[in-house]
Amino acid sequence: MLAAARAAFAERGFDGATIRGIATAAGVDPALVHHYFGSKDQLFLAAIEAPADPAELLPELLAGGPDRLGEGVVRTLLTVWDGPGQAAGLALVRSAIGNEWGARLLREFLATQVLRRVIRSLDHPPAEAELRAALAASQLVGLVVGRYVLKIEPLASAAPEWLVAAVGPTVQRYLTGEVALPG
């Protein structure tokens, strides 16, 4: 089931993949997929071996309100990456760098499981929200690659709160501030 889910999510994206289609590809009844994984979100997280479930982390992140969102996103990212989920996260990022299939899965994770939920808490038109989410994602992926994959100093050994203070305002600007958007 997980192999069929990975293939479906990579080929059609989160929104295009269906439990029924995944079950058919795996040769099982859709009820079995629901039994083992519950929702499509949970199946997706299992398929990509996500280091954390964003649905569990987002309520606390969003509790600070829109003016603290950048700090909250960076703090949450560092909490996950500095914790036991780091190995799974590194595997996901390294596979994304190495092949298109992995890149699609990571892109879908960031877009549908993390940033779509964050950006929904704001009042932007859909096209603008998508652009702002992509800008924020570029900053967060850069932070992850620089700190955990390439281990660029002093980024790699910096205290998390320093990184929150340094990177949070940029993410905040991408999410809520003045940004020269195309079109």
CATH, residue 36: 1.10.10.60
> Per the domain annotation, does 181 fall within a domain?
no
Residue 128: predicted pLDDT: 92
Residue type, 110: L
Please tell me the total count of domains within the chain. 2
Residue type, 113: Q
Task: Point out the residues of the chain with pLDDT beneath 50.
Answer: none
172 in the same domain as 105:
yes
78 in the same domain as 23:
no
d(CA 87, CA 148): 10
d(CA 30, CA 168): 41
Q: State which residues form the domain around 1.
A: 1-48
Give the number of other Cβ atoms within 10 Å of residue 146's Cβ: 14
d(CA 156, CA 53): 24
Look up residue 114 and give its two tokens.
């993390």
Using an 8 Å Cβ cutoff, are 109 and 164 in contact? no
> Per the domain annotation, does 183 fall within a domain?
no
Element (H, E) at 106: helix 100-108
Question: What are φ and ψ of residue 5, in 5° steps?
Answer: -65, -45
81 in the same domain as 13:
no
d(CA 106, CA 154): 26
Structure-token match 């195309």, residue found: 182
82 in the same domain as 27:
no
Domain of 107, CATH number, reads 1.10.357.10
Residue 86: predicted pLDDT: 86
Residue 120: predicted pLDDT: 85
39 in the same domain as 17:
yes
170 in the same domain as 113:
yes
Residue 89: predicted pLDDT: 83
